[in-house]
Structure 1
Amino acid sequence: MSINDLDIEITADNVHDLAPADLVQSDRVAGRVYTDPEIFELEMKNIFEKTWIWVAHESELPKPGSFKSTYVGRNPVIVTRDRRGEFRTLVNRCRHRGASVCEQPSGQANGFTCPYHAWSYGLDGKLRGIPYPDGYEGVMDKKDMGLKTLRTESYRGIIFATFNEDAEPLEEFLGDVKLWADRFLKQGGGYPIKVIGTHRFKFKGNWKIQLENTTDGYHFPIVHRSWMASVDAETADMLSFMTDPASTCHDLGNGHSVMHMVPEHIDLDDDDGSEPLQPRFDDLVAELKSAGVDDEQIRKLVRSMHGTGSNLNLFPNVGLSSAFFRVLRPISVDETVIEHVALGPDAPAEIAGPVIRERLRIHENFQGPFGFGTPDDAEGWERVQRGAQTSPEMPIMVNRGLNRETLAPEGWPTSHSTDESGMRAAYQMWKKMMSDD
């Protein structure tokens, strides 16, 4: 019996009666998964409140008292570095009447005080003070009324949180992702990476449409033709992966996947010195040389300028995409916020200054709000959403490369970078988490 024999035929007559998990099949997905508000509510409960969700990079919380406001699913949270230097994730709702205790996107604080009745909390979430406490004598114990705290764990500075106290340890959830995350983190050119800027935008579409995109090599030279025409020949040639058999996509388990666009840059430490540096960076090379940076270090920094040669998709909400983090946040069944987080080396000023300046220009040219990539992607995502709304039974096909998928020596289901192995991986994890059992 093949996996296709287990699929249920989806029609206009039965599409609204099927359980959510039955809408995901071996080679296709019913459009209802993009459009049904009840399915969206289940996703928030079964996925975004049950598994590990990316919340921050440690460079955004550089010292005790640093904080960042963000979300886990639709729940507002504050990520802090407490006085002992530990990372914590606190639900941003006062335990008294539910008001938010922090409205700043980031900053430095000794704690958080609710503006409604002035209940105050420490960086660890503990309730520190209540005005006029005599009314609570014999009614409430302060130690039981701290801000709700989520399990928080990090892997090499990448911080995740979950509402699920029984979730597997983060490193087990990441599994084989760790190898690729380690490679992604090498783009600092010998230095740690740090966040150097973030911009946000919304698109009118379901969050899973963007989840599919990070390891979708098939769309790249079609949707991003204008960007390809805007860059130098060396950059365009570097991304000519459509017919390169070495350009592959791996299913890494737990819904995660990785796609190689520039195979020779998968591991930036693998450098035999034969690859010429792109002429577009001649001015940067000259500037670094004048600052006394040696040739070997300059080569590492310049080869890292476009990030790594792979897009790594972590189910359900973050991509470690070449040179940046792409974070998705569901708002509703047909609205999603995307954050593009630019990265650069945490290096001495004479190195960080010129390198970060150049990396920001590269980021702006593609990912920025006036760049060539983001508007084109968002247009495609919104068109998919509009199409799905009209025919919820119509299949969304994820079968490209199914007939040429093989197992890599590591055991990863693998096909070409233009195939849809990454999407199938994500949807099988979605199916598992959305199943009744």
Structure 2
Amino acid sequence: MSLDTPRFSDLDALYSDDAEVATSMYEDPELFKEEMEKIFKRTWVFVAHESELPDKGSFKLSNVGLDPVIVVRDRKGKLHCMVNRCRHRAATVCEVKKGKTSSFQCPYHGWGYGLDGSLRALPYPEQYGDDFDKSQHGLLKLRTEAYGGMVFATFNDDVEPLVDFLGPEVCKYIHLFNKQGGGFPVKVLGEHQFSVPMNWKVQLENTTDAYHFPVVHKSFMQTLDEKTEDLFDFMEKNEGWVEDLGNGHSILMMMPSRADLDERLDDPIEPRFEELAEEIREEGFSEEQVKKIVLAVGGPGFNMNLFPNVSLSLSFFRVLTPVAVDKTDIRHIALGMDGGPEIANQTRMRLHEHFQGPMGFGSPDDAEVWERVQRGTQGGEDLKILVNRGLVDEEPGVAGPRGHISAETGMRAAYQMWKRMMSDE
């Protein structure tokens, strides 16, 4: 690193008012450590969906930044998020990714914990003396709240309530996103995970970036029928927008006509879904239900980025987990209808696999360019990364500026929040 490379003490040099990002933002390991403390340990981080924890005793493993956590529903139905670390000698108390249990036990010395994280028992406690207080040695718990089925956790007990962090615009769009349940609750159908040699902010920039779509996803577009290709040709239509929703969140409205699926119920069923509609009719659903379910299969017409680690994209969640300054884990979580017809969920899964599945077109193409961004930062370290597209004609939105569909408004929203949190404001 050259002597002129900005350090993280100079935040204006790292992200400027001209919407230029310093290359060291992707490369500095000390900056990465600071981000884990000032961002991931101080704000709300997405950890699970409530459908993954349907019963008392249901649990799943997740992460809050670098910290491994367990998300669990206790016997009273309350959600908890706890650091996956025994209070004795630091061994993880759970290595099963998800399941159902009545308690957690450390495999090293047998300390046992309840579903709420409390220390319930330990072998041969007399060696700790009479003043050993089990209530002070439970699993480290995070503050946990949920909205619209999405579960978030934070180490910061003083942070604002989750609903305030999300803000009214995000809450509105989560409500619209959940209409893809087709009258049923949204549930997780499955997920796959992969690692990319990139800084976490490279992915943070991606989900509300429409500018890359016709270039990176050209092969995907070539697999579509004419009508579906026209639906995804949102750059040429130029009907949508990208908008700053406050607190680092942003939305890419690709297909405004599909923002609220309930407003499309009078539309004729798309030809590609006619066979599906007939199969749903044969299961005894009314025509109104058939239309609602078929519309839901296609998902809403927008992507939404929630700072700092989760995106709502058409019909799936994309969750990022920072691992190192140049390594990020990505989880793609497919969503379906809890109680809806099986054929509809199968169709949704096939659509998901076509684009974001491990053998689909979207995931490999995106991962390729993310990795190339990280590799490219090895050259010309004094050059700036530009996120200034669309500044020329941004207009005021409800919570922040709104720009052209190809604008980098979403990236600027995220970096402004990044700067705010890194500056201790």
Report the TM-score when normalising by structure 2: 0.97
* 1:272 CA displacement: 5.7
**Helix, strand or coil for the counterpart of 2:297?**
coil
Return the match for 1:400 from 389, 392, 408: 389
The C-alpha deviation readout for 1:42-71, integer Å capped at 9, x for no partner, is 010000000000000100000100000111
Cα 1:196–1:35 shift into 2, 3 Å: same
The C-alpha deviation readout for 1:136-155, integer Å capped at 9, x for no partner, is 12352111100000000000
* 1:244 CA displacement: 3.1
**Helix, strand or coil for the counterpart of 1:270?**
helix
CA distance in 2, matches of 1:98, 1:13: 39
Residue identity over aligned pairs, in percent, reads 52
Return the match for 2:9 from 19, 29, 44: 19
CA distance in 2, matches of 1:104, 1:80: 13
User: Matches of residues 145-294 of structure 1 in structure 2 within 5 Å?
Assistant: 145-175=137-167, 176-271=169-264, 273-274=266-267, 276-294=268-286
Contact 1:189/1:300 (<8 A) preserved: yes
User: Matches of residues 360-399 of structure 1 in structure 2 within 5 Å?
Assistant: 360-399=349-388
CA distance in 1, matches of 2:197, 2:399: 37
* 1:302 CA displacement: 1.2
CA distance in 2, matches of 1:331, 1:134: 40
**Bigger shift: 309-318 or 297-306?**
297-306
CA distance in 2, matches of 1:411, 1:61: 33
1:420 paired with 2:411, answer: no
* 1:18 CA displacement: 5.6
Residue type at the aligned position of 1:90:
M
CA distance in 1, matches of 2:139, 2:424: 31
* 1:225 CA displacement: 0.4
Residue type at the aligned position of 2:235:
M
CA distance in 2, matches of 1:316, 1:411: 18
* 1:243 CA displacement: 3.4
Residue type at the aligned position of 1:14:
D
**Helix, strand or coil for the counterpart of 2:264?**
coil
Contact 1:20/1:434 (<8 A) preserved: no
Counterpart of 1:122 in structure 2 is 114
* 1:284 CA displacement: 1.1
Contact 1:35/1:392 (<8 A) preserved: no
Contact 1:284/1:355 (<8 A) preserved: yes
CA distance in 2, matches of 1:150, 1:436: 21
User: Matches of residues 85-96 of structure 1 in structure 2 within 5 Å?
Assistant: 85-96=77-88
The C-alpha deviation readout for 1:288-333, integer Å capped at 9, x for no partner, is 1111111111111111222110101000000011110000000000
1:113 paired with 2:113, answer: no
Cα 1:84–1:319 shift into 2, 3 Å: same
1:356 paired with 2:345, answer: yes
**Helix, strand or coil for the counterpart of 2:261?**
coil
Residue type at the aligned position of 2:284:
G
Residue type at the aligned position of 1:135:
Q
User: Matches of residues 18-97 of structure 1 in structure 2 within 5 Å?
Assistant: 19=9, 21-22=11-12, 23-26=14-17, 27-97=19-89
Contact 2:38/2:424 (<8 A) preserved: no
CA distance in 2, matches of 1:20, 1:247: 36
CA distance in 2, matches of 1:256, 1:118: 43
Gap runs ≥5 in structure 1: 1-10
* 1:20 CA displacement: 5.2
Residue type at the aligned position of 1:402:
L
Cα 1:114–1:411 shift into 2, 3 Å: closer
Cα 1:219–1:143 shift into 2, 3 Å: same
Counterpart of 2:331 in structure 1 is 339
The C-alpha deviation readout for 1:316-358, integer Å capped at 9, x for no partner, is 000011110000000000110000000001125xx1x101111
- The number of residues matched between the two structures is 422
CA distance in 2, matches of 1:277, 1:393: 53
Contact 2:246/2:399 (<8 A) preserved: no
Gap runs ≥5 in structure 2: none
CA distance in 1, matches of 2:379, 2:93: 41
Residue type at the aligned position of 1:423:
M
**Helix, strand or coil for the counterpart of 1:217?**
coil
Report the TM-score when normalising by structure 1: 0.94
Residue type at the aligned position of 2:211:
Y
